[in-house]
Amino acid sequence: MRVGVEVGGTFTDLVVVGDGAIKVAKVPSTPLQPDIGVMDALAAADLNLLDIEEMVHGSTVATNAVLERKGGRVGVIVTTGTGDIFALQRHDRTAIYDLHYRKPAPVIARSDICEINERLAADGSIIQALDEARLDRVIGAFLTSAPFDAIAVCLLHGYANPVHERCVSEAIRRYQPDIPVTLSSDVSPEFREYERASTTALAAYVQPVIAGYLSRLTDKLQAAGFKGRFSMMQSNGGRMPASSMAQNAIAALFSGPAAGVIGAMGVAARSGFKNIITLDMGGTSTDVSLISNGRPDLAPQTMIDGLPVRTPVIDIATVGAGGGSIAWADDGDLLRVGPQSAGAFPGPACYGRGGTKPTITDAHLIRGTMRSLSFVGGSIAVDHDAAAAAFAELSVHMEMSVEKLADSAIRVAEGNIVRAVQQVSTERGLDPRDFILVPFGGAGPLHAARVAEDLGIRTILIPLNAGVLSAAGLLMSDYVHYRSKTERLQLHESAIGNVKAILLALRQEAEAYMEEIGITDNLRFEYVLEMRYVGQAFELSVALGGELETLTYSAIFEAFRAAHHRVFEFSKPPQDPAEIVSYRVGIKSHAAKFPELANSDAGANDELDSINLIEGGTSLACKLAKRDQINATGITGALLIEDGTSTVYIPPGWHVLKDQAGNLIAKYHG
């Protein structure tokens, strides 16, 4: 058996694959001790852990550690004169009209920063060498000044030459051999000082949390009899052995959302779709991503709670519109939804765990688009009266009925999702109408049709067991590792030899790392350059096709011009010089295939039950079906489809059928 377990903000999902069959489980998450939720999911699936050959895990542990400021206490060592880098940050404002705007709070206290005398030039040459005797005294005093859980080292221009950072690491080891040490030259060997420092500090900040979590979980799994391979999802859409992830915790920052994207790509490809927009709506948030020609865009940098993280990550936009998102009225009495969430505990009011705030899950129960028996296959009892009571106070304030308010809250949430989709499509020069929408997560299929209508998308693909697709995506993922380097080089014909040499060196480093952790089969490579026109301040990621040995100047330059035109709607004449700023090499090892799903045909459509729900403030007659009642002929909405892990809403104007791959395909016909 192969098992994928994904810990979300509200539910922990599990998918088991064995002998061509698929089994799923869904249990409430345990935010304070997520490893308990993992073991609960294994128990709910009634698995013998001795039979599990491989387990792949995705988790929000690293994300929550940053958002909740519950990471370890980190001491940071920097070059003299740069100690205020975390406070200064960048001179931009993410909310330009907010009179009370404050920069994001750093995870490092100013008192936990130590400056040392050394200096490198931008090319890596040594301007001021380290005095090792003085260094030992400074390091010794710093390590005894506070009970640090980890140390981060980020010296000026350390990306160009790691010699001083390695000396500092050796000095730390002489005093405290067991303390985790994170070097910027290992974590983010790229230029831009603040982004590199932020990434290094965050990596050290979550290191004790991830290492401790994986240690506890591994101990529990082994005590229960698990002897198979254990790996963890990374933000870049690939996985790595859990033992190596414990040493590179920052790579797990967005492992859950990345797994969903990989799962959506896998199921869509089986139906012949390569251009998709994913819509992952869970209990806390909604994540959307755009896949073009079967490949996700990898962003070289992302943000978490306003802090930059310079590491390859699948380009995902997140908005606070999940099932647990809270509806509220702002100062202008406008209805808002999120980003505040009821989370796993107390959760939506209808769960009966003490929640009293009106949430989107409560709204669906009131509106009728979710039924009591459809919550996790009926395993969770829900209270309609508690949901209505949660909306009562707000309905009086907004002067509308509870039913109409619930319907309005859902439409506001859908508006938030539409704007998130636009971030990854129209704002990147891509038309969402050229893509199909793939919704998943417990609530994604409920909102997909109305979101698609607002965007002009006319086709939706709903996977089997959409509510646990992220867990399935874990089992579809490859082993992936990236190496990067900053070295500024103006692109011209005679520079191709240098470009190939740098990429080859990174490839050899990546191969050596994979061999070190025991992954040597089915390896393939990808090459990415960060490029810009000479004189520009920021660069674009340019993916290179083909083999490294056959790489040419014209291929690189034309790929850059195409990328620049797609984003900015113009490209300069060929004689205008371009330059390469950074290089990235990815190495992948194919994982085992996910089994094909048997396509069961349906019974007679005329036997479907009928219910009434509220939409647009009025009552709407709606057919009710189980997923296996949808066949190749299909049914026209309004239709509510229940498949155990999620509910699918097909409004009037849409027709849904099941294709040969077992996916539901809904098309809009107006």
Encode pLDDT of 300-322 as tens digits. 888 888 899 998 899 888 888 88
**Rounded Cα gap, residues 420 and 454, in angstroms:** 12
Mean pLDDT for the stretch of residues 149-159: 96
- pLDDT value at 437 more than 90: yes
Q: What pLDDT shows up at residue 605?
A: 52
- pLDDT value at 602 more than 60: no
- pLDDT value at 604 more than 70: no
Q: What pLDDT shows up at residue 503?
A: 96
Average model confidence (pLDDT) for the chain? 90
Q: What pLDDT shows up at residue 606?
A: 55
- pLDDT value at 196 more than 70: yes
Name the more confident of 284 and 83: 83
Q: What pLDDT shows up at residue 378?
A: 58
- pLDDT value at 501 more than 90: yes
Q: What residue ranges in 300-343 does DSSP mark as E strands?
A: 302-304, 307-309, 313-314, 316-319, 325-329, 335-341
Q: What pLDDT shows up at residue 616?
A: 81
Q: Domain extents for the chain?
A: 69-209, 479-589, 605-665
- pLDDT value at 145 more than 50: yes
Residue pair 452/350 in contact (Cβ under 8 Å)? The answer is no
For 317-341, write each residue's pLDDT tens digit. Answer: 888 888 889 999 998 899 999 888 8
- pLDDT value at 598 more than 80: no
Burial class (CB in 10 A: 0-12, 13-18, 19+), 312: buried
Per-position DSSP letters for 60-73, written without gaps between them: SHHHHHHHTT-S--
Share of the chain above pLDDT 70, in %: 97
Q: Which of 167-176, 514-523, 599-608 has the lowest mean pLDDT?
A: 599-608
Mean pLDDT for the stretch of residues 199-220: 93
Q: What pLDDT shows up at residue 401?
A: 92
Q: What pLDDT shows up at residue 609?
A: 85
Q: Answer whether the bond into residue 208 is a cis peptide, omega within 30°.
A: no
- pLDDT value at 379 more than 80: no
For 83-128, write each residue's pLDDT tens digit. Answer: 999 999 998 887 888 888 889 999 999 999 999 999 999 999 999 9
Sheet holding 609-615, edge to edge: 609-615, 618-626, 639-642, 647-650
- pLDDT value at 548 more than 60: yes
Q: What pLDDT shows up at residue 137?
A: 94
Name the more confident of 598 and 540: 540
- pLDDT value at 216 more than 80: yes
Q: What pLDDT shows up at residue 130?
A: 93
Report residue 375's pLDDT band, with 50, 70 and 90 as the boundaries: low
Mean pLDDT for the stretch of residues 202-222: 93
**Rounded Cα gap, residues 26 and 28, in angstroms:** 7
Q: Which CATH number fits domain 479-589: 3.30.390, 1.20.1280, 3.30.1490, 3.20.20?
A: 3.30.1490
**Rounded Cα gap, residues 133 and 174, in angstroms:** 13
Name the more confident of 299 and 408: 408
Q: What pLDDT shows up at residue 232?
A: 93
Q: What is the dihedral of CA 275, 280, 286, 289, to 10 degrees?
A: -20
Task: Give the type of residue at 452.
Answer: A
Report residue 406's pLDDT band, with 50, 70 and 90 as the boundaries: very high
**Rounded Cα gap, residues 282 and 467, in angstroms:** 8
For 341-360, write each residue's pLDDT tens digit. Answer: 887 678 889 988 888 999 99
**Rounded Cα gap, residues 536 and 455, in angstroms:** 33
For 440-472, write each residue's pLDDT tens digit. Answer: 998 899 999 999 999 999 999 999 989 899 999
**Rounded Cα gap, residues 240 and 209, in angstroms:** 18
Q: What residue ranges in 491-575 does DSSP mark as E strands?
A: 523-533, 540-544
- Please state the pTM of the whole predicted model: 0.87
Report residue 601's pLDDT band, with 50, 70 and 90 as the boundaries: low
Report residue 284's pLDDT band, with 50, 70 and 90 as the boundaries: confident
Tokens of 313: 């990550």
Q: What pLDDT shows up at residue 341?
A: 83
Burial 479-491 (b: 16+ CB within 10 A, else e): bbbbbbbbbeeeb
Burial class (CB in 10 A: 0-12, 13-18, 19+), 655: middle
- pLDDT value at 560 more than 80: yes
